[in-house]
Structure 1
Amino acid sequence: MKNRKKMSSSFILLLFLFLLSISFTSAEDINDILKDTKNEIAEVLHDNSKEFSDGFRGVFRQVDDGGKHKSRSKGPKEIVIPLEKFRKIPFADIWERLGHIAKVSLSRANRLKHKPKDETVNATGVFPKSYGEYSISLSFGTPPQTIPLIMDTGSEIVWVPCTKQYTCIFCNSTPVANPLSAPDNMKKYEPLDSESFRQTTCDHPGCTYIQGRFTCKSCKPTNSTSSNCLEVCPRYALEYGSGVTNGTLLSDTLTFGEVKIPYFVFGCSNFTFHIPAGIAGFGRGISSIPAQLGLRKFSYCLLSKTFNDTAKSSPLVLYDGSDSEDEDTDGISRTPFLQGPRKFPYYYIGLQEITVGGKKVHDVDEFITLHPDGSGGTIIDSGATFSFMGKQVYDKVVQEIDSQAADYKRAANVEKDVHLSPCYEVPKENASLPTLGFHFRGGVKMDLPVMNTFWFIDTNETTVACLAVVTDRGKGGGGPAVILGNFQQQNYYVEYDLKHEHLGFRTQDCSED
């Protein structure tokens, strides 16, 4: 493993701030673009408030697409969307790549845990999210423009790379001469090419949700009745574990084959830093896909993670919000969602016990319990790669793993390089390592296989196995004590039942059609 030169973090920050100021002042992004073509799109800039409000409540039309589209309708109750592994992980070197993934996972956890600022008047909403490794393709506009997005249950916002002026700093998967250019193959949504796009106004609920109590100059405060407000919603900035995106809130038609959802609200981002794709937010907020579509349930099955390019996909299924009789899923274990604090709008589940090799980890109950102030507890997050454990939990888990893996030598040099610990030198075949188990409310448990507990790295001399869990060493503040990432969810069928407020799961080979 070789030494690598790293760019000064202060230099990157100054560069980012400078380029961000250019992004704001050169054209004010999409707002000025729209002004330049005012006559062309004047009739679609503002619609009446009732149409916006009705569209935002969630429209899920049951139409069979007859197999004409990749996203197919299976009768009137569900839509199936191909879910693929995200391929644009930067760095070709395995050590650098793994270290990057670990650092992003930890940065995301710290953002998810960090207590948001008090709701005050501000011009920019900042949200603690990140990107994961699984993508879906959604079609926006009339005619439809198909854009691949990261599927993220830890985010409630949907945003897409937007306009021909889109700039993405350090987003290429390989080194390029100009780090400020977006990847050549990145698909971008162009609002001016859509007959159905709308700008959102200040009194739109989507704007209110993102901007909090921000008040537009010509509008009444967002917490009072406002009518005929035509001022455009202020620009947003969303902060992620790995970067930032900035843009304007729009609405347009979202299409699944012949199923059309008008007035779907999403972000049109024309500037991002270190985030290689847009986000499809499946979180708890009212701007998320489940909320806008009025879903009663959605489910996914995550393919085994190797980070190699593959065209293989697995299903993400959206179930409509009708009151028809629910079909039970065979062999599924269920645990209820818990009501988390409003400042943390995540999918909380009741973790009651952690085991290592079947043995209970003691002295962690206080930390894995969700407290009224938002500290502790467990959330499930498809956008995080490696799971997170707070220091008090992590140390106890690692202590037990070390005890049970005492026959293997610690690979300290690897731990330093990949930012994961503990790592062990193990035989290439028949390694006997302890696995993690999570016991939830309702008497259900998730006993992870070894491939969901450790990341295995083959070298010329040996194989190294690293625990696929990150920790903040006690520096992350409050928030969840455990975040269950997508590495631990691979080859699990996972079901979010929003009608009955529970999470379901079972082991399943997600590569099977």
Structure 2
Amino acid sequence: MPLILNNNSSFILMNLAFTILIFSLNFLPHDAANITAATTTSPEFSTSVLNVTTALNQVHHVLSLKPSFHLHQNHEQQQQQTQHTLSPSSSSSFSFQLHPRESLFNAHHHNYRSLVLTRLRRDSARVSWITSHLNKSNLRPEHLSAPVTSGVSQGTGEYFARIGVGQPTQHFYIVPDTGSDINWIQCKPCNQCYKQSDPIFDPSTSSSYALVPCKAKQCKDSELTGCYKNGCEYDVFYGDGSFSSGVLVTETLSLGKNGSVKRVPIGCGHLNHGTFAGAAGILGLGRGALSFQAHIKASSFSYCLVYRDTNKSSTLEFNSPRPGDSVTAPLLSNPKLKTFYYVGVTGVSVGGRRVSIPSSTFAIKPSGMGGIIVDSGTTVTRLPTPAFNAMRDAFVELTRHLRRAKGFLILDTCYDFSSVTVATVPTVSFELSGGGSWRLPVLGYLIPVDDKGTFCFAFAPSVEPVSIIGNVQQQGTRVSFDLVNSVIGFSTDKCS
């Protein structure tokens, strides 16, 4: 006798069959399960494929990297003979190389878990520093480019650039930082200095070194500077207790094959303390008057942060055109806190579905709180707790078929991929107020935290109402800041 099913019973059986299929995958041979994960997607939501094997191979690779900072020295000596002077008011483009921290200054961690722990501790200090500024504020041209390497950030730091200082040129690794308004390096004589990879800058050997007098406009342009007996001095303090204090000077900065820029305001630090991982100081890319791009009157700058577990590099560029495939949003400013770059965001999506978060969550309030900052120094993206919970819960709902793992410090949503080579996961996107959607690379939101196959959702809650887009989410994406038209652009796979 044929079995007759009504609509309700058909629906129940279909769901039962899907449940049995998912359950049985856990008991398939690994190769069969991997093939299914790589080729099966749900018609109900959009997915990305995480190549677990490739990511773990890179994890093992980064632990074996040898420091490479010494490789630049001979090349730099050759470049010194061919430099030309760049005018701060010109519109030509130039760039620096950017390098990840571990490719230059491997700290010889015993395992990858230890490395991630160190990164997250630096990250917490960075976030504390940013929120302290927010709370305090609530109370009161040339196309240039340079290499960007994953390395240190302010009080932390995951990416480095190489620049020359003085005449004749002395070369140093520094941390490009969109959250800093002032450039500075450690200088002799050192009353107190932390250990750096290059010899400390000696101003007495530079013919282009000049003190900034108290009456100069540069000495009055920032709350970080003040007039003392010996002229203009500066003080910078960070959230983890790091600091730099010294005199404000002007110096020639050399940009490799791009040439040099004269009379750049830079702090010469005689009293310094911090965890800057071998870097000599900071290249300030914030919106303040003493920052590097303010001095050169840049119309734009951009960077692409390579994945931090590689030994590749990308570029920090000035006055270069924005990639044509960029998704864009308004570049906003906070009148209460002018240092940081805010982006117009209306929401987030998981699996192609808009998460139920009020758009006002990402708006800058009249008090100066709220908004969402794009920051090169923060590691893990922070969202206000209600917004984070909604996003996290949406992700968990669409990953019920994946094996969970214990949380890892601030990362409370983790997965055990130790028995698979690929995993299919929901997509994650920021919905921009310009109407576009910035879809993150899968390693921009699921990151390995050990060498065994534990991956965690790289977002964390913030007790403050401000949101911060960190450098994990920015990996593999060229982030372009159009300073003239107040537009920010995101273009994936533009690091080469």
TM bucket normalised to smaller: 0.7 to 0.9
Q: Does residue 82 of structure 1 match 2:97?
A: yes
- Check 1:302–1:119 CA distance in 2 against 1; reply closer, same or farther (3 A cut): closer
- CA deviations on 1:414-450 (whole Å, 9 max, x unpaired) are x24x432211112432212223210111111111121
- CA deviations on 1:377-428 (whole Å, 9 max, x unpaired) are 111111222222221221111111221122234322xx24x43221111243
Do the aligned partners of 1:398 and 1:422 also contact (CA within 8 Å) in 2?
yes
The residue aligned with 2:413 is 422
Please state how far the C-alpha of 1:365 moved relative to its aligned partner: 2.5
- CA deviations on 1:266-304 (whole Å, 9 max, x unpaired) are 112232222222111111111111101110111222212
Q: Does residue 292 of structure 1 match 2:295?
A: yes
Which of the pair has more CA radius of gyration? 2
Q: CA RMSD in A?
A: 3.1
Give the 3-state SS of the residue equivalent to 1:104 in structure 2: helix
For structure 1, the residue ranges without an aligned partner over 5 or more in a row are 1-64, 122-127, 170-181, 218-230, 321-326
Give the 3-state SS of the residue equivalent to 1:339 in structure 2: strand
- Check 1:166–1:411 CA distance in 2 against 1; reply closer, same or farther (3 A cut): farther
Do the aligned partners of 1:211 and 1:236 also contact (CA within 8 Å) in 2?
no
Do the aligned partners of 1:248 and 1:267 also contact (CA within 8 Å) in 2?
yes
- CA deviations on 1:136-159 (whole Å, 9 max, x unpaired) are 111111111111111111212111
Q: Distance in 1 between matches of 2:138 and 2:201?
A: 31
Which is richer in strand?
2
Do the aligned partners of 2:164 and 2:170 also contact (CA within 8 Å) in 1?
yes
**TM-score of the superposed pair, with normalisation by structure 2:** 0.72
- Report matched runs for 1:448-463 at 5 Å: 448-457=440-449, 459-460=451-452, 463=453
- CA deviations on 1:227-285 (whole Å, 9 max, x unpaired) are xxxx5123413224463333322211122347332221111223222222211111111
The residue aligned with 2:319 is 319
- Check 1:243–1:409 CA distance in 2 against 1; reply closer, same or farther (3 A cut): farther
The residue aligned with 1:246 is 245
Q: 1:200 aligns with which of 212, 216, 239?
A: 212
- Check 1:136–1:166 CA distance in 2 against 1; reply closer, same or farther (3 A cut): farther
Q: Distance in 2 between matches of 1:487 and 1:70?
A: 36
Letter in 2 for 1:275: F
Q: 1:103 aligns with which of 121, 135, 153?
A: 121
Do the aligned partners of 1:99 and 1:419 also contact (CA within 8 Å) in 2?
no
- Report matched runs for 1:89-168 at 5 Å: 90=107, 92=109, 93-114=111-132, 115=134, 117=136, 129-163=154-188, 165=190, 167-168=192-193
Q: Distance in 2 between matches of 1:192 and 1:66?
A: 19
Q: Distance in 2 between matches of 1:371 and 1:341?
A: 10
Letter in 2 for 1:448: L
The residue aligned with 1:305 is 308
The residue aligned with 1:189 is 201
Please state how far the C-alpha of 1:212 moved relative to its aligned partner: 6.0
Q: Does residue 259 of structure 1 match 2:259?
A: yes
Q: Distance in 2 between matches of 1:432 and 1:490?
A: 20
Do the aligned partners of 2:416 and 2:455 also contact (CA within 8 Å) in 1?
yes
- CA deviations on 1:148-207 (whole Å, 9 max, x unpaired) are 1111112121111222637445xxxxxxxxxxxx14x33422111101111122233333
Give the 3-state SS of the residue equivalent to 2:434 in structure 1: coil
Do the aligned partners of 1:386 and 1:486 also contact (CA within 8 Å) in 2?
yes
Letter in 2 for 1:77: S
Q: Distance in 1 between matches of 2:337 and 2:329?
A: 22
Letter in 1 for 2:172: I
Please state how far the C-alpha of 1:119 moved relative to its aligned partner: 11
Letter in 2 for 1:504: G
Q: Percent of counterpart pairs with the same letter?
A: 25
Q: Distance in 2 between matches of 1:458 and 1:97?
A: 9
- CA deviations on 1:296-324 (whole Å, 9 max, x unpaired) are 11122221221x5x2x321222128xxxx
Do the aligned partners of 1:244 and 1:275 also contact (CA within 8 Å) in 2?
no
Q: Distance in 1 between matches of 2:399 and 2:293?
A: 43
- Check 1:145–1:356 CA distance in 2 against 1; reply closer, same or farther (3 A cut): same
The residue aligned with 1:382 is 376
Letter in 1 for 2:439: D
The residue aligned with 1:494 is 479
Q: Does residue 442 of structure 1 match 2:434?
A: yes
The residue aligned with 2:404 is 410
Q: Does residue 335 of structure 1 match 2:329?
A: yes
- CA deviations on 1:19-69 (whole Å, 9 max, x unpaired) are xxxxxxxxxxxxxxxxxxxxxxxxxxxxxxxxxxxxxxxxxxxxxx99946
Give the 3-state SS of the residue equivalent to 2:484 in structure 1: coil
Q: Distance in 2 between matches of 1:239 and 1:102?
A: 16
Deviates more, 1:246-255 or 1:208-217: 208-217
Q: 1:471 aligns with which of 452, 461, 472?
A: 461
Q: Does residue 507 of structure 1 match 2:492?
A: yes
- Check 1:67–1:400 CA distance in 2 against 1; reply closer, same or farther (3 A cut): farther
- Check 1:243–1:411 CA distance in 2 against 1; reply closer, same or farther (3 A cut): farther
- Check 1:284–1:378 CA distance in 2 against 1; reply closer, same or farther (3 A cut): same
Q: 2:365 aligns with which of 371, 391, 396?
A: 371
Q: Distance in 2 between matches of 1:237 and 1:303?
A: 28
The residue aligned with 1:394 is 388
Please state how far the C-alpha of 1:216 moved relative to its aligned partner: 4.7
The residue aligned with 2:30 is none
The residue aligned with 2:50 is none
Please state how far the C-alpha of 1:70 moved relative to its aligned partner: 12
Q: Does residue 272 of structure 1 match 2:299?
A: no
Q: Distance in 1 between matches of 2:162 and 2:282?
A: 11
Give the 3-state SS of the residue equivalent to 1:234 in structure 2: strand
Do the aligned partners of 1:435 and 1:448 also contact (CA within 8 Å) in 2?
yes
Q: Distance in 2 between matches of 1:504 and 1:166?
A: 43
Q: Distance in 1 between matches of 2:203 and 2:241?
A: 27
Deviates more, 1:237-246 or 1:272-281: 237-246
Do the aligned partners of 2:188 and 2:202 also contact (CA within 8 Å) in 1?
yes
Do the aligned partners of 2:113 and 2:450 also contact (CA within 8 Å) in 1?
no
Do the aligned partners of 1:102 and 1:470 also contact (CA within 8 Å) in 2?
no
Give the 3-state SS of the residue equivalent to 1:471 in structure 2: strand
Letter in 2 for 1:248: V
Letter in 2 for 1:279: I
Letter in 2 for 1:489: Q
Do the aligned partners of 1:491 and 1:509 also contact (CA within 8 Å) in 2?
yes
